[in-house]
Chains A and B, each alone.
Chain A
Amino acid sequence: MMTDDQHPADEQKRDFLRIALVGSAVAFVGAILYPILAYLKPPRQGEVEVTTVKAGKLSEIEKDSGRIIRFGNRPVILVRTASGDLRAFSATCTHLDCTVQYRKDMGLIWCACHNGKYDLNGRNVSGPPPRPLEEYRVVLQGDEIFISRRT
């Protein structure tokens, strides 16, 4: 009886079979894994691009106070300083994503999670935050306050 490797035609046939087998196995696993991996990735939500939001009436906001305003999907902090200036910043702490608040006693914007502090220009002045808060534009139309993204 002849052994396989003495037959070049057999060897070719065997190579072909091996490639076909491994190839189809890879394709098979891929066809199962690809949909699963794709499924795990959350789809992009049709997010409405917000450029301006109404933030309330000036007469309703006390001096030396702050509040959180919804800006699309994100929170924005609107601060009215002791002198009456209006300022708005992204309320998402640049450290680890917590939502900041205005601290009257410090006259600062403060994050409770890791004790990060920002001054009223949004600059990170103390604690772990690595970057300043993004500033938003505040526009006053009569008594109505509008906040918009700086472009």
Chain B
Amino acid sequence: MMRILRSIYAWMDERLQLKGLMEYMGKKYVPVHRHSIWYYFGGVSLFLFIIQVTTGILLLLYYKSGEALAFESIRFIMAKVEFGWLIRSIHSWAANLFILAAMIHMFSVFFEKAYRKPREMTWLTGMLMFFLALGFGFSGYLLPWNELAFFATKVGTDIAGIVPVVGKPIMTFLRGGDEVTGATLSRFFGFHVAVLPGIFTVLLGMHLLMVQRQGMSEPLGHRAEEEQKTMPFFPNFMLRDLALWLLVLNLLAILAVFFPWELGKKADVLSSAPAGIHPEWYFLFMFQTLKYIPGKIWFLDGEVLGIGLFGLAGVLWTLIPFWDRKSARGEQNRFVNYLGLFAVLYILLFTILGWLA
């Protein structure tokens, strides 16, 4: 067996010169320090993304888009297809864990200032992937065509419509018309299974390539001259990565089996929004904020102001490698710490408030 593998490798090496690549991989080291734990969350996000692609393809085998079929086809998957309930439950749970892992990854990179030069583009591609992940969540949420999804989509696309000048055309484009209808469902399906995965995969490739090329960022204050502990990426770090992935897979299985994802009630265009309606947890803090903002503030519509502020905050957050000059010079930047802390506390507080409401 080994002989065969070895001769296959030799055959490939002769054609592709794999030796250089293998040497490069062998020389890859991961710094070891008290913040090393945060290095793992990018990998966990990657693992959950792979799960999403796999279960997503499986769901595609039975899912039918369209107002008359979407809800029924998911009920069919959950009731008739063997293990259909499991695949669907895993897809829903992994989606949420994916966003959670990506959030932890993002905040840890933020607080470690790992976005600083020379890793600006790694941060940028990461942030774009995070926004795409929210887009995945938002578009995927509508696909079962249930009551909650219907109103969440109405509100979400209406928010896009508030943006001055370009808002209305964007809203019409997203909805496939003036209202949320079957046309919206078709479009969201296309975004969810083709457009977003395509763009995401390209960004992911760039992101991983840059991580490989530049190696892991080290916390500020670590001096290059100092004696430093490291661990080889292959196999030490990778095996730790895989062990954690296995742990996550177990967690996912427990959640998916013992807390199966519900399907809810089929969307009815003529029903009122049900009491207690709320979006997925990762949109909850924004949703809760919108509840508190009055209709008019000075001369502005309250919702325009709220959404404008969130938009601005998102842009500033995404562009942080370009305005945080101090970290780029290797100095401590307390302002950024406080800003990140404020963001974390704000999100936690309003998420809890939204949860309690």
Contact = CB atoms under 8 A, between A and B. Distances in A.
Given A75-B270, A114-B291, A128-B293, A98 B173 contact: no
Nearest to B287: A114
16 contacts: A41-B173, A42-B173, A68-B270, A73-B179, A74-B179, A75-B269, A75-B270, A95-B303, A96-B290, A97-B154, A98-B155, A99-B272, A112-B272, A112-B276, A128-B295, A130-B302
B151 A113 contact: yes
A91 B272 contact: yes
A96 B153 CA distance: 10
A42 B272 contact: no
Nearest to A68: B270
Nearest to A99: B272
A131 to B, nearest CB: 8
A112 B273 contact: yes
A41 B172 contact: yes
Contacts of B179: 73-74
Contacts of A45: 177
Contact of B296 (A97, A99, A115, A130): A130
Contacts of A99: 151, 270-273
Nearest to A124: B295
Contacts of A73: 179
Interface in A92-149: 95-101, 111-115, 124, 127-131
A40 interface: yes
B154 A98 contact: yes
B154 A96 contact: yes
B270 A70 contact: yes
A70 to B, nearest CB: 5
Interface string B265-307: 0000111111111000000000100110111100001110000
A127 B295 CA distance: 7
B159 interface: yes
Contact of B173 (A40, A114, A129): A40
Interface of B: 151, 154-155, 157-159, 172-173, 175-177, 179, 183, 269-277, 287, 290-291, 293-296, 301-303
Given A96-B158, A98-B277, 12 more contacts: A42-B183, A68-B272, A69-B270, A97-B157, A98-B154, A98-B155, A112-B272, A113-B277, A128-B293, A128-B294, A130-B302, A131-B295
B151 A127 contact: no
Given A45-B177, A111-B273, A128 B290 contact: yes
Nearest to A131: B295
A107 to B, nearest CB: 16
A99 B177 CA distance: 18
Contacts, number: 80
Contacts of B291: 114-115, 127-128
A40 B273 CA distance: 29
B155 A113 contact: yes
Contacts of A127: 291, 294-295
Contacts of A95: 295, 303
Nearest to B159: A96
A69 B151 CA distance: 18
A96 B152 CA distance: 10
Given A75-B270, A101-B272, A112-B276, A42 B176 contact: yes
B270 A98 contact: no
Nearest to B300: A130
Contacts of A77: 272
Contacts of B158: 96-97
Contact of A68 (B151, B175, B271, B277): B271
A109 B301 CA distance: 21
A97 B269 CA distance: 12
B67 to A, nearest CB: 13
Q: Which of A68, A98, A124 has the most CB of B within 10 A?
A: A98
Contacts of B270: 68-70, 75, 99
B320 to A, nearest CB: 30
Q: Which of A45, A69, A100 has the most CB of B within 10 A?
A: A45
Contacts of B183: 42
A130 B303 contact: yes
A2 B277 CA distance: 79
A112 B275 contact: yes
B269 A112 contact: no
Nearest to B296: A130
Contacts of B271: 68, 99
